[in-house]
């Protein structure tokens, strides 16, 4: 039977998707005193209703009816489940309160102060963009958003992690296009880079004999800003607009920067028209700003070209491989095992030189930065009071104008998470979120782990033990006295999975690993307290909730769905305890441009994702037992729809059907107290399946999953190879690997044939 073609049905824009593509304001609106007061009241009400339920329902039942074994077990389990879910709701409210407090106190640093600071700062930054099997168009936008950061000294490195020699012609063509991206952007920047480099030199020479700029000098500088804005707008006009991400890139990255440069140019023209001029110092700062904006250096690096570097299949080791080389010079040496890198003391004669830098910016290949991201975050790190801050970031927001209903809901949860991360920072409980972050390289040197594998030193700065590598590294940094701060603005955006299949891959990865890191968290807390640091109970609670809430929430929901608890344990007070959480989330959704009613859609959405979260939990248990790393699963970034595994279509359907059965049984028995929960689950779960996954897509994915095993790949028949002289010894392999015990020349030859061949330099 012939091979079946790859399953990638075309994804179309859905009815009910998001219409507006306008992103939220960069600076959060300042909350009123009333909003902050209400957030405190919500916390008090949640705790109060929970206590009232424990005393008025559980304890009263024991006092009134006595203690029986079955009722005791049910009561303990039910109370544990309700308490765990209430605790997660409480942590949301606590983090939300912290975010509101931060937004109220945040004062934006004026642009002139940034220019003044970086006029004397010598700090450098390296932007690392790990990429694996990404669409070149997606990577290109990410690189451009980094390249147009207005930073004095920036190097951008695309870390391509694809197989360096793919056999599939289509894959090879895409890889080759990805390899050329950095150079093409470098070439496109050549004209403005040269123009503004010459302009600042010319101005420096002509202003030597003048204490103050002339009106003509101001008009000339205004013209330079106008030229830069036109250059960006010309580029924007040539960009394709295939989806909402393209629109964001054109309007916010290119258009936004062009608009700001135009405003600066207009301000200079207005000053000249009024017969006034900025100071000489300010003129130099404005010239430098133009030069910085177009002065990025771009490069590409592929760790899999070198046998001396780790080839572990995860993003963390892709980053670690390059970071470990920074600051060094290396010679390439061809060996039977492949090309290896040897450290060299002669930088002039070295084949490869990896410049070091003060800061690193890790940036996912599907993320986009807004202008001033680097300036503002590095400025924060360079303030004296932040000398112990290792990482700062703006937790990413979602692109608006989602083309599917599920992307819109996933985007809503992403924007809510942005709020939660900002609040966690208020209590010192922030985590590094790997999509984007500015990192002090000295902090990474503090937590590096070294081991020798196959004769080569492997360095681990970012942990790869779990697939949530940024979370574990956050704990390592805290153990070494470093902290993490979330910058309270929206300066970064990242893609949200547009279909159920790709969302499954992302959320299953997020659900895997938190439990494995909990022991390290306890050790970190112990070490910090031993050093005399104050570790607050709120910080600990937020961290534990962040790492383990998916596990206990998923298990708790399963218990509530499956087990018919004694109706005496049910109480309206449980719903009242959850009410502040749902009302607050509804208000937050409305504040971030969604609808208050989306809280019901989000609930159904999470119910559909329950099997996905459970699968991630099972993977964590599997890893804990086997002590083997779980492979990093990349979230698919394709223009077409990704098929969902049959399990994750059938399992939500089973939950919905089971809820209907429980509901009907409760109605027949006239057990009205047990009707509310299954009725909500059945209604919202079914609505989520229909609106986000889709009936047609569900049927297609089930059919595909049920029949895909029937198809096998047709492999071309191996061509007879020319007869090799197996009696000849592969002397290079013998000299490099040594003689195998008892090996014959034929065995040595066979062993050499499986050695990875060396690859050409990128």
> How does DSSP assign 42-56, residue by residue?
HHHHHHHHHHHHIII
pLDDT per residue over 667-682, tens digit each? 887 777 678 888 999 9
Same domain for 728 and 697: no
- Residue 126: helix, strand or coil by DSSP? strand
Same domain for 641 and 602: yes
Residue 59: the pLDDT is: 72
Same domain for 679 and 582: yes
- Residue 683: helix, strand or coil by DSSP? helix
- Residue 343: helix, strand or coil by DSSP? strand
Is 730 domain-assigned? yes
Same domain for 644 and 599: yes
Across the strands, what pairs with 460? 449
Write the DSSP string, 520-589.
HHHHHHHHHHHTT----HHHHHHHHHHHHHHHHHHHHHHHHHH----GGG--HHHHHHHHHHHHHHHHHH
Is 328 domain-assigned? no
Alpha-helical runs (H) found in 448-492 = 469-479
CA angle 735, 739, 742 (to 5 degrees): 160
Is 23 domain-assigned? no
Nearest to 320 by CA among 473, 182, 482: 473
pLDDT per residue over 139-148, tens digit each? 999 999 999 9
- Residue 681: helix, strand or coil by DSSP? helix
Is 585 domain-assigned? yes
Is 135 domain-assigned? no
d(CA 392, CA 370): 15
Same domain for 731 and 692: no
Write the DSSP string, 373-402.
HHHHHHHHHTSGGGTTEEEEE---EEPSS-
d(CA 504, CA 506): 5
Is 628 domain-assigned? yes
Residue 639: the pLDDT is: 59
Total tally of structural domains belonging to the chain: 2
Is 419 domain-assigned? no
- In the chain, the N- to C-terminal Cα span, in Å, equals 39
Q: Is 335 in contact with 307 (CB distance < 8 Å)?
A: yes
Is 728 domain-assigned? yes
Q: Report residues of the chain scoring pLDDT below 70.
A: 1-13, 62-66, 466-467, 513, 627, 629-640, 673, 709-762
pTM for the whole structure: 0.89
Same domain for 683 and 555: yes
State how far Cα 82 lies from the chain centre.
Answer: 31
Token pair listed for 520: 């390290």
Same domain for 731 and 658: no
Same domain for 733 and 698: no
Same domain for 529 and 589: yes
Same domain for 633 and 734: no
Same domain for 628 and 728: no
Strand arrangement of the beta sheet that strand 338-344 belongs to:
338-344, 329-335, 352-353
Token pair listed for 387: 């000398």
Residue 94's domain comprises 33-105+504-709
Across the strands, what pairs with 457? 452
Same domain for 509 and 554: yes
**25 CB-side CA count, 13 A:** 7
């Amino acid at each position: 039977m012939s091979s079946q073609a790859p399953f990638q049905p075309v994804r179309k824009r859905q009815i009910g998707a998001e219409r507006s593509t306008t992103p939220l304001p960069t600076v959060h609106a300042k909350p009123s005193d009333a909003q902050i007061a209400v957030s405190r009241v919500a916390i008090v009400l949640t705790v109060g209703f929970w206590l009232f339920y424990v005393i008025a329902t559980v304890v009263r039942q024991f006092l009134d009816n006595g203690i029986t074994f079955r009722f005791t077990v049910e009561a303990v389990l039910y109370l544990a489940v309700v308490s765990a879910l209430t605790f997660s709701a409480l942590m949301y409210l606590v983090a939300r309160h912290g975010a509101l407090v931060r937004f109220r106190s945040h004062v934006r640093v004026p642009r002139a102060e940034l220019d003044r600071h970086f006029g004397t700062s010598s700090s450098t930054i390296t932007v690392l963009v790990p990429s694996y099997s990404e669409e070149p168009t997606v990577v290109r936008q990410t690189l451009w958003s980094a390249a147009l950061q207005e930073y004095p000294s920036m190097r951008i490195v695309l870390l391509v992690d694809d197989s360096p020699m793919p056999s599939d012609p289509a894959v090879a063509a895409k890889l080759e296009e990805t390899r050329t991206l950095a150079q093409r952007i470098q070439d496109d920047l050549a004209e403005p880079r040269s123009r503004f480099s010459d302009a600042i030199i010319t101005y420096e020479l002509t202003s030597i004999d003048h204490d103050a700029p002339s009106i003509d000098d101001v008009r000339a500088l205004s013209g330079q800003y106008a030229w830069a804005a036109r250059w960006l707008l010309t580029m924007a006009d040539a960009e394709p607009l295939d989806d909402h991400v393209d629109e964001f890139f054109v309007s916010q990255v290119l258009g936004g920067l062009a608009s700001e440069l135009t405003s600066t140019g207009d301000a200079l023209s207005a000053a000249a028209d009024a017969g006034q001029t900025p100071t000489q110092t300010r003129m130099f700062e404005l010239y430098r700003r133009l030069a910085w904006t177009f002065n990025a250096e771009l490069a590409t690096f592929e760790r899999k070209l070198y046998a001396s570097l780790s080839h572990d299949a995860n993003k963390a080791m892709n980053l670690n491989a390059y970071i470990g080389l920074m600051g060094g010079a290396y010679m390439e040496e061809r060996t039977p095992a492949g090309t290896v890198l040897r450290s060299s003391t002669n930088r002039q004669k070295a084949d490869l030189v990896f410049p070091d830098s003060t800061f690193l910016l890790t940036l996912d290949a599907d993320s986009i930065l807004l202008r001033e991201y680097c300036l503002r975050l590095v400025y924060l790190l360079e303030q004296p009071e932040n000398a112990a801050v290792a990482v700062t970031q703006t937790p990413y927001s979602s692109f608006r104008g989602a083309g599917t209903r599920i992307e819109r809901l996933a985007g809503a949860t992403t924007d809510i998470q942005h709020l939660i991360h900002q609040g966690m920072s208020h209590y010192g409980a922030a985590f590094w979120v790997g999509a984007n972050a500015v990192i002090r390289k000295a902090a990474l040197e503090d937590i590096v782990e070294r081991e020798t594998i196959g004769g080569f030193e492997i360095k681990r700065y970012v942990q790869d033990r779990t697939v949530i590598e940024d979370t574990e590294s956050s704990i390592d940094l805290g153990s070494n006295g470093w902290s993490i701060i979330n910058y309270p603005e929206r300066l970064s955006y990242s893609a949200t999975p547009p279909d159920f299949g790709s969302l499954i891959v992302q959320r299953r990865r997020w659900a895997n690993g938190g439990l494995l890191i909990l022991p390290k968290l306890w050790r970190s807390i112990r070490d910090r307290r031993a050093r005399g640091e104050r570790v607050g109970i709120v910080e600990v609670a937020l961290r534990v909730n962040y790492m383990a809430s998916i596990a206990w929430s998923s298990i708790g929901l399963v218990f509530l769905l499956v087990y018919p608890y004694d109706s005496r344990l049910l109480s309206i007070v449980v719903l009242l305890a959850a009410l502040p959480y749902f009302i607050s989330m509804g208000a937050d959704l409305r504040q971030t441009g969604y609808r208050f009613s989306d809280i019901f859609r989000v609930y159904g959405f999470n119910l559909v994702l329950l099997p996905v979260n459970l699968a991630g939990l099972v993977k964590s248990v599997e890893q804990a037992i086997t002590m083997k790393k779980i492979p990093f699963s990349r979230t698919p970034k394709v223009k077409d729809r990704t098929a969902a595994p049959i399990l994750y279509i059938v399992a939500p359907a089973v939950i919905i059907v089971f809820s209907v059965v429980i509901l009907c049984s409760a109605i027949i028995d006239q057990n009205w107290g047990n009707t509310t929960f299954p009725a909500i689950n059945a209604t919202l779960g079914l609505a989520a399946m229909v609106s986000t996954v889709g009936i047609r897509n569900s049927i297609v994915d089930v059919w595909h999953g049920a029949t895909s095993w029937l198809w096998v790949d047709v492999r071309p028949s191996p061509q007879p190879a020319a007869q090799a002289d197996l009696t000849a010894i592969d002397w290079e392999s013998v000299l490099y690997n040594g003689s195998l015990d008892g090996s014959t020349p034929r065995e040595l030859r066979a062993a050499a044939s499986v050695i990875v061949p060396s690859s050409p330099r990128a």
